[in-house]
Amino acid sequence: MIATDTQKHKVPAISVGGSELNLTRLAFGAWRLSDTRGPEGKRLTTGNVADLISHSLGLGITTFDHADIYGDYSCEEIFGAAVAELGINRSRLQLVSKCGIKLVSARRPHHRNKSYDTSREHILTSVERSLRNLRTDYLDLLLIHRPDPLLDPSEVASAFESLKTAGKVRFFGVSNFSPMQVEALQSYLPMPIVSNQVELSPLAHQVLTDGTLDHCLKMRMTPMIWSPLAGGRLVTGKAAIDIRVREVLTRIGHELGGASVDQVAIAWALQHPSRPIIVTGTTVAERLSAAAFSATDIKLSREQWHEVWSAGMGHEVP
């Protein structure tokens, strides 16, 4: 793995959707905070999480990605406690959260089945709970987590306007929406949808050709990318396609001076002209450092980029 120097390789920030919201090109994904095991096989303590937050800030990663459901509705609370322990000034952080999915959980005993809820009442209630758990007065960015067949754009617009007016959410976006779903919602909103958080990796590359990232370019939206390592398959997957892509990433890593598989994969996604933000999934400090280096110092040639894409497709480009 290429050596990293946290003092020289600070992750840069960019304007999201042409707005006044600036997020770092890497966002710390908080969804594993409740199930990660520490060095002694125990769950991460508040102190462990505080250390991860401090390490991220040292790398220049100041954007933290949440959702109300993460960790069976527990990760926001864990994060909020760690930030409080650190005594970090709120202005140093950008907090992103999502709502709209309802899980069956002992923490939500009134949920009878997994479902979606994008009603005005649910959005407002979810945000209030997220603010309380994160110990903050506002979110920098709120995303609707999944497309909901029963989504009423006028209700969502009413919720967004209320949250914006109250100063509880600065900017709004969506997650996993198709271009038409984005446009349908946008047509009802008085404010722009600044981001669409979608999946992209060499093993999940549909957004490159189904119009999703093209739509982001057209609408000047900044995509956020989840699962850039395909849930770890790029590093440890056993399927033939996993091995094939990993071999290509490994070889290109050698060509780039010793970059690791995960570094090359993250750099590959970052090179899309829509200028995406990558949401990391690791809670290992060393991997965060490696990802930070990907965001600042690794750039694939066009031929290398297409070689990775071709490996993921299983054939050369048309």
Integer Cα distance of 49 and 34 in angstroms:
10
70 given a catalytic annotation: yes
Place of tokens 């694939």: 300
Integer Cα distance of 96 and 98 in angstroms:
7
Exposed/middle/buried for residue 291 (C-beta within 10 Å: 0-12, 13-18, 19+)? buried
Helices (H), the chain: 46-58, 70-73, 75-86, 120-134, 153-165, 179-186, 212-219, 233-236, 240-255, 261-270, 285-297, 302-313
Integer Cα distance of 298 and 219 in angstroms:
28
Task: Please say whether the dihedral angle defined by the alpha carbons of residues 224, 218, 176 and 204, taken in this order, is positive or negative.
Answer: negative
Token readout for 288 is: 């965060």
Q: Which residues of 16-39 are buried (b: 16+ CB within 10 A; e: fewer)?
A: bbebebebbbbbbbbbebbeeeee
Q: How far is CA 244 from CA 78, 147, 237, in A?
A: 38, 33, 10
Q: Determine how β-strand 13-15 pairs with β-strand 22-24.
A: antiparallel
Catalytic entry in 70, 73, 138, 188 = 70
Q: Catalytic positions, please?
A: 70
